[in-house]
Amino acid sequence: MSSMLLAAAAAAVNPAPTVTAEQALENARAIFSAAPRKAAPCPDATGDEIVVCAEHEDPAKQYVPSNTDSGDPDDGVPRAPDVSGLPSGGMRIGKTPRHPLIIDLSKIPEAPAGSDADKIAKGEMAAP
């Protein structure tokens, strides 16, 4: 409880700065941006030294088109870009499986009394 009082007192003495929605969005974009930071140019080697540095590739070359680029899709749900490389609209692999057999279990007769099937159904004998 005392820590809450201290926090309230500190807030009263040093009020938080007022930030507009636009400033908050700009701050969030600066912190959470996916754009790579600009690297300093690679320095030239002097004498016998070897200089190792990385050059960043243009992010525009690493872009994957998305169906949301032109706006919202028809259903309003944003979708991730399709990077599978498979053609859209489906692809068939192999052939269609056989249709399963349809059996009417009501037409199967009851097991004759004393048969193995009857004993298994009554629990008198273990199933093979």
**Structure tokens that stand for 62 in this block:** 């690493």
In this predicted structure, what is the pLDDT of residue 112?
Answer: 92
Q: Is the pLDDT of residue 109 over 70?
A: yes
Please give the residue range of the domain that contains residue 39: 1-60
In this predicted structure, what is the pLDDT of residue 90?
Answer: 63
Confirm whether 118 is domain-assigned: no
Q: Is the pLDDT of residue 124 over 80?
A: yes
Confirm whether 8 is domain-assigned: yes
**Most confident listed range (5-9, 15-19, 29-33):** 29-33
Confirm whether 123 is domain-assigned: no
Flag whether the pTM goes above 0.75: no
Q: Is the pLDDT of residue 8 over 70?
A: no
In this predicted structure, what is the pLDDT of residue 31?
Answer: 80
pLDDT band at 91 (very low <50, low <70, confident <90, very high): low
In this predicted structure, what is the pLDDT of residue 108?
Answer: 86
Handedness of CA 23, 28, 33, 37 (dihedral sign): positive
Confirm whether 65 is domain-assigned: no
Q: What is the per-residue pLDDT across 29-86, written as a single tens digit (0 to 9) for each?
A: 888 776 656 667 788 888 888 888 877 777 677 776 665 566 556 666 766 766 776 6
- Dist CA 38 CA 59 (whole Å): 11
Tell which residue, 36, 43, 42, 45, has the closest CA to residue 54.
42
Confirm whether 7 is domain-assigned: yes
Confirm whether 18 is domain-assigned: yes
Tell which residue, 68, 95, 92, 62, has the closest CA to residue 81.
68
In this predicted structure, what is the pLDDT of residue 32?
Answer: 78
Confirm whether 76 is domain-assigned: no
In this predicted structure, what is the pLDDT of residue 42?
Answer: 82
Amino acid type, 6: L
Confirm whether 42 is domain-assigned: yes
What's the structural domain count of the chain?
Answer: 1
